[in-house]
Copies of this chain bind each other. A is one copy, B any other.
Amino acid sequence: MKSIMNMVMDDIDRKIIDLLSGDARRSLADIGAAVSLSPSSVNERIKKLLADGVIKRFTIDIDPAKLALPVAAFVWIALREGADEAAFRAFAREDRHVSECHHVTGAWSYLLKVQVADLAALERFLATLKESGFLARSETVIALSTVVAPPFRVKDT
């Protein structure tokens, strides 16, 4: 089976992932010292983790507030009967405000997480959503504060 071919991950790989999660700029020598491996071996393992898609990319974790996007909100979506679900998904993928979009169990069909400049921007986002014609109804919950934040990065353009 191709998808799991050569995908044996061991404790060293997991440790490398831990270390890179904390600081992706650590040198191969530094990581090697931590896992008792030569820099080249670490390099080979990282290349393999990338090739296997375990590591999706090297990126930066940004403070959204410092990028003038301090407001996070969750939007529950019930799609209108007969809505073009593929188009809705494309909208979620492309819209810069949407940082997460999940198809979910329960009373609603989708849950969006959006990251915006202020409540006015949130209101405009919701207006856009309504105008797009996907929705039967929606419900919005605002994050007053965040205790555990996922990494934030700007969407590809």
Q: Which residue of B is nearest A98, CB measured?
A: B148
Q: Which residue of B is nearest A25, CB measured?
A: B58
Contact pick for A148, options B66, B99, B105, B148, CB 8 Å: B99
Q: Mark A17-45, 1 if CB is under 8 A from B, else 0.
A: 11011111100000000000000000000
In the bound complex, do residue A93 and residue B57 qualify as a contact, i.e. CB atoms below 8 Å apart? Answer: no
Given the interface pairs A144-B105, A147-B93, the reply to whether A154 lies near B98 with Cβ below 8 Å is no
Q: What residues on B are CB-neighbors of A116 within 8 Å?
A: none
Given the interface pairs A104-B144, A145-B103, the reply to whether A66 lies near B54 with Cβ below 8 Å is yes
Tell me the complex Cα distance, A67–B10, Å. Answer: 11
In the bound complex, do residue A154 and residue B58 qualify as a contact, i.e. CB atoms below 8 Å apart? Answer: no
In the bound complex, do residue B58 and residue A24 qualify as a contact, i.e. CB atoms below 8 Å apart? Answer: yes
In the bound complex, do residue A147 and residue B89 qualify as a contact, i.e. CB atoms below 8 Å apart? Answer: yes
In the bound complex, do residue B58 and residue A102 qualify as a contact, i.e. CB atoms below 8 Å apart? Answer: no
Determine if A61 is an interface residue (Cβ-Cβ < 8 Å): yes
